[in-house]
């Protein structure tokens, strides 16, 4: 199993609510307000883990929720901050906001890189924060900031030195089997390999990472097992190795590969390409030379980069690895990632106040928290709330859009009439 793309649900913690409380100790018989603030909700982080090489651990676990902040309490005590939650991903994972397909949130390409993908909700303020010269006994407090669940996509591209692609049944797995310790399935039928295979080749104290992409076909829509869906991994390879059976129509197979690469991202054609012809044990040396001449005439860029292999661990295969290692020394960095700026989720841009059907609505987050954190069913609290509302910019905005005495005003779960 090799999972390289998943959608997961994340939620950072809601902020804790602020407290409404009055100090009643012996030193202060009248009792001053002492309701503390709520704690901050935990955040959701994405963190690179260099030991991961796929997203398989997200096959079943798809929900990640950070802890909510604690409530504030009396004696001015602030609630506890919620614990953060960390989502580990392999190096080279793109993070996208699923509600907005094109919204790339981050590109985690360095080891130990971490990114706060969803910040925890702010804690609400306790009633101490609402003391003014006119209101010494505020009955107001805010609920904590609420955070919605978000869907994000984790999209992992394997980093490799050599990526083997080619038509089905061309000998890709056989090559991996001969040069590394990996033992992919080999079969004399197409699509033996249905998911990318990753292997490491060790020679002369230098490691070469190799990835096999399942067979490419001309018409990928009709073939769910084809490798066309995995072309993204080519973006992060240094060398593209086209593996083709010498008994096939080599020129048209090369053209098919070029076409598929061009369709996906034509910049891929600028990468270093090598041609690996397999089944060469089935042909005489003279025929082999004719073939190579014909190919180099048509594809001049492949000159000197054609390897003729047999299904055996012989001199030819060793020379092939040596050559790949040599190329790697001169290829600086073929990683095609653009520098992607890290951006945050878009906030919902609702108008702060509006008229809807037969009533006015306040969408301002801070006032909603204030309504929800206070008990507006208590008339004394409501008087204080309305006073605060009227002396704020939101009050001015309501007047600007035409609110008058007696009009119905809704905020959060509450509805009341506007008094002047």
Ligand X SMILES: Nc1nc2c(ncn2[C@@H]2O[C@H](COP(=O)(O)OP(=O)(O)OP(=O)(O)O)[C@@H](O)[C@H]2O)c(=O)[nH]1
Binding site for ligand X (CB under 6 A): 168-174, 186-188, 190-193, 214-215, 278-279, 281-282, 309-311
80 vs 191, beta carbon nearer ligand X: 191
95 vs 234, beta carbon nearer ligand X: 234
Long-range contacts of 192-197 (CB under 8 A, 24+ apart): 194/225, 195/1, 195/2, 195/230, 196/2, 196/4, 196/158, 196/227, 196/230, 196/233, 197/173
- Tokens linked to 352: 């702060």
- Min. distance of Cβ 230 from ligand X in angstroms? 12
Q: What distance in Å separates the CA atoms of residue 105 and residue 107, rounded to the nearest whole number?
A: 7
24 vs 312, beta carbon nearer ligand X: 312
215 vs 395, beta carbon nearer ligand X: 215
- Min. distance of Cβ 250 from Mg ion in angstroms? 19
Of 127, 121, 123, 122, the C-alpha closest to 141 is: 127
Contact 163, 209 (CB under 8 A): no
Q: What distance in Å separates the CA atoms of residue 394 and residue 213, rounded to the nearest whole number?
A: 58
174 vs 237, beta carbon nearer ligand X: 174
- Counting residues that bind Mg ion (by CB under 5 A) gives 4
Q: What distance in Å separates the CA atoms of residue 341 and residue 112, rounded to the nearest whole number?
A: 17
- Min. distance of Cβ 193 from Mg ion in angstroms? 3
By CB under 5 A, what part of segment 88-107 binds Mg ion? Answer: none
Q: Residue 114: which residues within 8 A CB-CB, separation 6 or more? A: 45, 46, 47, 48, 86, 108
Residue 127 interacts with Mg ion (CB under 5 A)? no
- Min. distance of Cβ 189 from ligand X in angstroms? 7
90 vs 215, beta carbon nearer Mg ion: 215
| Residue given tokens 């089944």 in the structure block | 279
Residue 192 interacts with Mg ion (CB under 5 A)? yes
Residue 17 interacts with Mg ion (CB under 5 A)? no
- Min. distance of Cβ 2 from ligand X in angstroms? 13
- Min. distance of Cβ 219 from ligand X in angstroms? 16
91 vs 254, beta carbon nearer ligand X: 254
- Min. distance of Cβ 336 from ligand X in angstroms? 25
193-209: b (≥16 Cβ within 10 Å) or e: bebbbbbebeeeeeebb
- Tokens linked to 358: 């037969």
Contact 274, 307 (CB under 8 A): yes
- Min. distance of Cβ 245 from Mg ion in angstroms? 12
172 vs 388, beta carbon nearer Mg ion: 172
By CB under 5 A, what part of segment 150-179 binds Mg ion? Answer: 172-173
248-278: b (≥16 Cβ within 10 Å) or e: bebeebbebbbebbeeeeeebeebbbbbbbb
Residue 248 touches which of Mg ion, ligand X, none (Cβ within 5-8 Å per kind): none
Residue 193 interacts with Mg ion (CB under 5 A)? yes
State the residues that interact with Mg ion by CB under 5 A.
172-173, 192-193
């Amino acid at each position: 199993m090799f999972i390289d793309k998943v959608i997961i649900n994340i939620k950072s913690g809601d902020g804790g609510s602020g407290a409404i409380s009055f100090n009643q100790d012996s030193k202060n018989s009248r009792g001053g307000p002492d309701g503390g603030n709520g704690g901050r909700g935990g955040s959701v982080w994405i963190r690179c883990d260099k030991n991961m090489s796929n997203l398989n651990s997200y096959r079943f676990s798809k929900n990640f929720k950070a802890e909510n902040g604690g409530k504030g309490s009396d004696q001015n005590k602030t609630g506890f901050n919620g614990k953060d939650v960390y989502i580990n991903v392999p190096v080279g994972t793109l993070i996208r906001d699923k509600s907005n397909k094109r919204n790339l949130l981050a590109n985690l390409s360095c080891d130990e890189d971490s990114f706060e993908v969803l910040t925890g909700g702010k804690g609400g303020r306790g009633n101490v924060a609402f003391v003014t010269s006119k209101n010494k006994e505020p009955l107001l407090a805010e609920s904590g900031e609420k955070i919605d669940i978000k869907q994000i996509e984790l999209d992992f591209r394997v980093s490799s030195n050599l990526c083997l692609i080619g038509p089905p049944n061309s000998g890709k797995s056989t090559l991996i089997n001969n040069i590394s310790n990996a033992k992919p399935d080999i079969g004399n039928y197409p699509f033996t390999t249905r998911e990318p295979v990753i292997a490491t080749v060790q020679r002369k104290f230098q490691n070469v990472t190799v990835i096999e992409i399942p067979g490419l076909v001309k018409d990928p829509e009709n073939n769910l097992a084809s490798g066309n869906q995995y072309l993204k991994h080519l973006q992060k390879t240094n060398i593209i190795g086209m593996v083709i059976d010498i008994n096939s129509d080599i020129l048209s197979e090369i053209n098919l590969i070029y076409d598929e690469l061009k369709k996906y991202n034509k910049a891929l054609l600028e990468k270093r390409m090598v041609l690996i012809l397999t089944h060469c044990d089935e042909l005489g040396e003279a025929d082999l030379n004719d073939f190579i001449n014909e190919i180099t005439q048509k594809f001049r860029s492949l000159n000197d980069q054609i390897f003729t292999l047999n299904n055996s661990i012989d001199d030819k295969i060793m020379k092939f690895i040596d050559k790949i290692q040599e190329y790697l020394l001169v290829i600086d960095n073929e990683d095609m990632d653009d520098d992607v700026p890290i951006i945050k989720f878009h906030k919902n841009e609702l108008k702060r106040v509006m008229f809807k059907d037969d009533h006015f609505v306040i969408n301002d987050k801070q006032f909603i928290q204030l309504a929800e954190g206070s008990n507006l069913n208590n008339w004394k609290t409501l008087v204080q709330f309305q006073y605060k509302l009227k002396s704020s910019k939101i009050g001015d905005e309501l007047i600007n859009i035409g609110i008058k005495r007696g009009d119905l005003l809704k905020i959060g779960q509450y509805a009341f009439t506007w008094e002047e």
